[in-house]
Amino acid sequence: MTTSEDALAQIKAGYGFSGAALELGVAVTDGKAHPDVPVRLPLSMMNRHGLVAGATGTGKTKTLQLMAEQLSAQGVPVFLADIKGDLSGVATAGQPGDRVTARTSDIGQQWTPTAYPTEFYALAGLGKGVPVRATITSFGPTLLSKVLGLNETQESSLGLVFHWADSQGMSLLDLKDLRAVISHLTSKEGKADLEGLGGLSSATAGVILRNLVAFSDQGADAFFGEPEFDTADLLRTSSDGRGVVSCLELAAVQDKPALFSTFLMWLLADLFHDLPEVGDIDKPKLVFFFDEAHLLFDDASKAFLDAIQQTVRLIRSKGVGIFFVTQTPKDVPNDVLAQLGNRVQHALRAFTPDDAKALKATVQTFPHSSYDLEELLTQLGTGEGVVTVLSENGAPTPVAWTRMRAPQSLMAPSPDATIDATVSGSSIVGKYAQAIDRESAYEMLNTKLQQAPTPAEAPAPAPSGGQQPAQAPQEAPRSAPRAKEDKGMIANVAGSPAFKSMMRSAGSALGREITRSLFGTARRRR
């Protein structure tokens, strides 16, 4: 590790941006902080994505909080996935104390207790916050397959089920709708509907149905339905121009990691569909912090990983920045990691051979520097990190050992009274509070089944001699209109408001049709 004035001068020059920036902390050499050598991150580069990594207890959460505060203060909305419940403190002004005083004095930080405009959300209303739900139709087969743990063959079959439902204008709002469609397509009456499309094997359908039942038994029914969350609500600013911090509480679903991590990806996919292209802008429209990111990639299919890589690559031009938060860069696939130009790496441990391999792999992801990173990363103190970001011209900045600034909001969960008051005073809670269950595939299929002619209704065979029974004039027209009714069912449904609300505008970016792109998600156009 170097203590030379040349190295400090290089860091000072490398982080001396002319435009707006986030103040991350100050440079450190030989354990000594240098308040005159700030380490910063250009606001205009926040949509180039990033990684915040480090072992448990090294300060990742406080780094998220620090960045969220400064983004909000500069008018940028923020989304935070609050796994443990401690990020809710962003809504409450911080409390002074000896540790805060020691840190701020050491780095020359002017510290003022500040609360930031916050909206609390809860997945399916499990927890304190505005309920967040999605319909099965918009969630799509790719994301649902990840949640259900399906293999690629089963995922392909599930995609066929969605394709058929889309073509019939059948809304899949919740799990019972999907179960009804799968049961129909494997029934004697429904098998013909997939002729020419490969069909749906009974064995594969059985696996999907069993997984759906188990999923439902875990309480997953509550996560799907209407009113569906409108991701435009994540893009709001407060009356004083600060960005609203959207804090999604996930503590109540910590035991369902595949579900909540995939739900977060649905939010991103929906934002991708809805937002227009904006190119390079002075500040992002939204910065999305994806905590416990390794859960998203665990046991993911190739199609799922490809879709993540595409989304991360393309959503930048729509003004959205993504920061993955995890323990080591190894947790993120290489194709995604290559797009994360902004890095804050907190301390790593090397207690086991696997730890040592992860440490070496982490060092290799950083630009060349005068630090012995393999040694430094195991010696960083809590609240310190090794930083490199993209400069305003897109080039990597020098690697800097950094002592991070202290957040100005509460570095603990907000009091229950604060959260309750925030939720009850929300301008959007009435929009999502009450779940609704309108007519969808389940009801449509039941209606069709009830309207189908029974054997008792079938016309009697003509007697010998060519004579027709007395009821023949009445029975003949009953059969013909029934055929017309079946043929016209799709047209009637397609003309209904429920179906029209699902259709996407054909001229929109990357498609808003019922046909699906990237993650297979589909969405009502608002």
CATH number at residue 350: 3.40.50.300
Q: Is residue 494's pLDDT more than 80?
A: no
The rounded radius of gyration (Å) of the Cα atoms in the chain is: 28
**Is 233 in contact with 428 (CB distance < 8 Å)?**
yes
Digit-coded pLDDT (tens) for 19-61: 999 999 999 998 999 999 999 999 999 999 999 999 999 999 9
Q: 0.85 cut: is pTM over it?
A: no
Cα(409)–Cα(88) distance, rounded to whole angstroms? 10
Whether the pLDDT of residue 379 is over 60: the answer is yes
Which pair of tokens denotes residue 141? Answer: 């087969």
* Total structural domains within the chain: 1
Full residue range of the structural domain in which residue 267 is found: 5-133+226-432
219-228, 282-291, 441-450: which is most confident: 282-291
Most confident of 156-170, 379-393, 511-525: 379-393
Amino acid 496: pLDDT: 42
Q: Convert 27-44 into a string of H (helix), E (strand) and C (coil).
A: EEECCEEEEEEEEEEEHH
128 domain residue, yes or no: yes
- pLDDT of res. 511: 32
Residue 105 lies in a domain: yes
Rounded Cα distance between 299 and 426, Å, is 37
Check pLDDT > 90 for residue 106. yes
Band the pLDDT of 228: cuts 50, 70, 90: very high
* Predicted confidence (pLDDT) per residue in 151-185, tens digit: 989 999 999 999 888 888 888 999 999 999 999 99
Alpha helices in 275-317 (DSSP H): 294-297, 302-315
350-370 pLDDT, tens per residue? 889 988 999 999 999 999 888
Strand order in the sheet with 320-326: 32-42, 21-29, 400-404, 384-388, 342-345, 50-53, 320-326, 286-290, 78-82, 245-249, 118-123, 130-132
Q: Around 258, how many Cα atoms within 13 Å sit in the side-chain half-sphere?
A: 15
Look at residue 523 in the predicted model and tell me its pLDDT.
56
- Classify residue 303: in a domain, yes or no: yes
Q: Which two tokens stand for residue 21?
A: 């920036």
- Note the pLDDT of residue 441: 73
525 pLDDT band, cuts 50/70/90, is: very low
CB 227, CB 132: distance < 8 Å: no
Element (H, E) at 169: none
pLDDT at 521: 80
Q: What pLDDT, on a 0 to 100 scale, did the predictor assign at position 37?
A: 97
pLDDT at 518: 61
> Is 75 inside a domain boundary?
yes
Per-residue pLDDT tens over the stretch 176-217: 999 999 999 988 888 888 876 777 889 999 999 999 998 888
What pLDDT does 486 receive? 41
Q: What is the mean pLDDT of residues 291-316?
A: 86
**In-domain check, residue 95:** yes
Tell me what pLDDT residue 219 has.
Answer: 81
Q: What is the pLDDT of residue 41?
A: 98
Q: Residue 11: pLDDT above 60?
A: yes
Tokens 């991590």 — which residue? 261
Token pair in block for residue 394: 């897109």
Structural domain includes residue 475: no
Mean pLDDT of the chain: 84
- Mean pLDDT, to the nearest integer, of 417-433? 95
Among residues of the chain, what percentage have pLDDT more than 90? 56
> Does residue 269 form part of some domain?
yes
- Residue 192: the pLDDT is 81
Q: Which residue has the higher pLDDT, 238 or 301?
A: 238
483 occurs within a structural domain: no
Read off the pLDDT of residues 443-491 as tens digits, 9 standing for 90 and up.
Answer: 777 776 566 555 444 444 544 444 444 443 443 333 333 333 343 443 4
Confidence (pLDDT) at 16: 94
Each residue of 264-273: pLDDT tens digit?
889 998 998 8
